[in-house]
Structure 1
Amino acid sequence: MSGAFWSRAGAHAESFDRLFAVLTGFSVLILLLVAGLIIGFSIRFRSGSKVTRHKVSRLVHREIEIGWIAATAIVALFFFWWTTSANLQQAGAPADAMEIHIEAKQWMWKASHPDGTRELSTLHVPAGRPVALYLNSQDVIHSFFVPAFRLKQDVVPGRTATMWFEADKPGTYPLLCAEYCGTGHSKMLGEIVVMEPGDFAAWLDSRPEGAGLIAAGRALFTSAGCSGCHAAGSAVHAPELAGLYGRQVPLADGRVVTADAAYIQDSILLPRRDIVAGYAPIMPDFADLLDEEEVAALVAYIRSLKGDTP
């Protein structure tokens, strides 16, 4: 592979390495301080030495304790702020990010591009553009791990996990599963191919045309009967789906949740768990009627509704 296993290809990788280096250096300093004190005290208060052991200044002892506790608290709060800020930057993808759906299955990765292009254990992306991944598992827990991007995300069955990255260096980077998922775990390998934008567009044009995840979700929205309740003009009193994604949704139990990908998926598979305020719990359970790919297609279609009528 043209990209080394531990190479760095992205802004997230740079900030991660900087944080890791600082934490490692700080840990080494603490180790040296403690080791130095142990060695120094061992020599000074060794058996047979004439140093005084009974007179200890109470004031000095108290100042040391207060100073040590205060310094530790300040350092801990600083590192907490730094690491939390780094994690929050990774939490939400930019609005213009290219969306790709990933299906984990023993023992392969299946990628679906917005235009319907599909790949197995390989993912082609353009350099310099944010890429948002929506990950689902068809069987057991997997973990999507790209060492060169310093990113790892567990993929749990029945839930949609999200992550994003922006690769800035064209190349081929290893992809692997970092969670033991069965006898073929060690073979669940793949690669991320980062291409120049022009080369990526040419590669995309050369691929066979597919139905598209959103188009498949639109067709399934009708064939599965969703439009019978959620379409405009329906006689059934059901929540409006246009512009739902990202909106605050009040629930019947008083809670307010954000309509993210996980909420939409749970509403399809577990409709009685989070009932929207003002609506009766009449939606049927689709857990045994739709597979993971069909649910992902429906979620992609609902997310695409920007205020238009479904």
Structure 2
Amino acid sequence: MNVVVDFAFSRIMELCMYDVNDFTEGLESNPIYYENLQLSKSMKTFKYICSNIPGPGCNMDNYVEQFCGCNCRPNCEPISCPCIKQQGLNYQNGRLLENIICGDSSKAILECNSKCSCVRACSNKLVQNGIKYKLEVFTVKNKGLALRTLETIPRGSFVCEYAGEIVSEEEAIKRSKNLTKDDMNYLFILNEHCASGIIQTFIDPKYKGNIGRMINHSCDPNLTMYPVRINNSIPRLALFANTDIERLVELSFSYGTSSNCDTGNKKACYCGTAMCTNYLPFDTSVFL
């Protein structure tokens, strides 16, 4: 009994001691600060989470399910690990395989999970081990808050997730309709095409999300998003570097290609790249 009490007290103290200027609230291995520490507290408007959590309308059966684990020890070998053999190899030397980055492969990415016997440093565990690079929140003219790297990130490296509440389509429509023209819309709709049709996942980090919420759109981004599955069928939206990213460069990914609305309802894109389409991607399906 004393052991349980001591552990609980220790955990409470640990949570109370995190740096108040850390956007991640002490939940990531590296703290992430705002460039102006005096403004960091006022600019933080959401509860930090490391990965997706169930939100209103989420199908809880998808969270209850658990993939089977492998019995590999201490590490997994591609020729014998059932997790790797199921969908094929994902990573090499801690980076995403080149054929996946180049788009030559459309395979699903499946990592070893919490039921696997392999060690945490297993070569098939990458996204689940969290953010490894030092990042910083800063401000950019016309775009507001943004995220940049404080160290060089090699091509193929995992940077962070785009995490939030997994909500139902009905909840996504409700939240979208409540937005004003000045509100930021963080809702991301993932469309996965498979033999049975299109699987849609609605992720909203507006109220609860991670640092991926700070990443702006670019028509020529340096990050690419890949759905990664670990413990169950709910995808984790992992962002990988699609090029070598130098220190102090802003991180960006494409919000999509949809632009099926009239010009008056679109928001201007300020990515500044040669490939800029002038407007941010916009999907009207959740406004119907």
Q: Normalised by the size of structure 2, how large is the TM-score? A: 0.21
Structure with the larger RCO, 1 or 2 (CA within 8 Å, 6+ apart):
2
Structure whose alpha-carbon radius of gyration is higher: 1
Larger helix share, 1 or 2: 1
Q: Normalised by the size of structure 1, how large is the TM-score? A: 0.20
